[in-house]
């Protein structure tokens, strides 16, 4: 199951994509909170709640794990639609008026479009199993 979350080969259905996307969003949110909260509290009170290095280490692990899960599930979902993963490249452009609409449009399309029925070049239909 855990290795299934990290691979980019194959296809993924809409329901599984929604569950993994929710899990990755939770990991990223918790990681960002772990990164920001101890730092903000140490600035406000002058007292460290926990060593910032340890908090930052675990926060970066959660952030990277959540980000990889989101990218891997998006690639597998795009494979289910018969699309290449190159359609994700506008999402990494460091200009917000390009990346933000690209992420929104792709998220909506990946969430609601039905995948190809039957086998395609990326593998068998995930709903057929």
pLDDT at 27: 94
Cβ(1)–Cβ(15) under 8 Å?
no
Cβ(73)–Cβ(94) under 8 Å?
no
pLDDT at 48: 62
* Whether the predicted pLDDT of 92 surpasses 90: no
Cβ(70)–Cβ(25) under 8 Å?
yes
Number of C-alpha atoms within 13 angstroms, CB side, residue 109? 17
Entry pTM: 0.84
Mean pLDDT to the nearest integer, 96-119: 91
Please report, for residues 73, 74, 110, the alpha-carbon distance to residue 77 in angstroms, rounded to integers and kept in the order given.
6, 5, 6
**Digit-coded pLDDT (tens) for 21-80:** 999 999 999 998 888 877 777 777 776 665 666 778 888 999 999 999 999 999 999 999
């Amino acid at each position: 199951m855990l290795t299934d979350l990290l691979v980019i080969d194959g296809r993924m259905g809409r329901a599984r994509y929604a569950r993994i996307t929710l899990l990755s969003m939770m990991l990223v949110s918790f990681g960002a909170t772990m990164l920001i909260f101890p730092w903000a509290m140490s600035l406000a009170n002058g007292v460290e709640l926990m060593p910032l290095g340890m908090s930052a280490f675990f926060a970066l692990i959660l952030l990277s794990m959540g980000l990889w899960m989101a990218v891997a599930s998006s690639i597998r979902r795009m494979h289910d639609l018969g699309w290449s993963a190159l359609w994700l490249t506008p999402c990494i452009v460091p200009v917000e008026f390009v990346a933000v609409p690209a992420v929104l449009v792709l998220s909506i399309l990946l969430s609601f479009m039905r995948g190809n029925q039957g086998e395609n070049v990326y593998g068998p239909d995930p709903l057929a199993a």
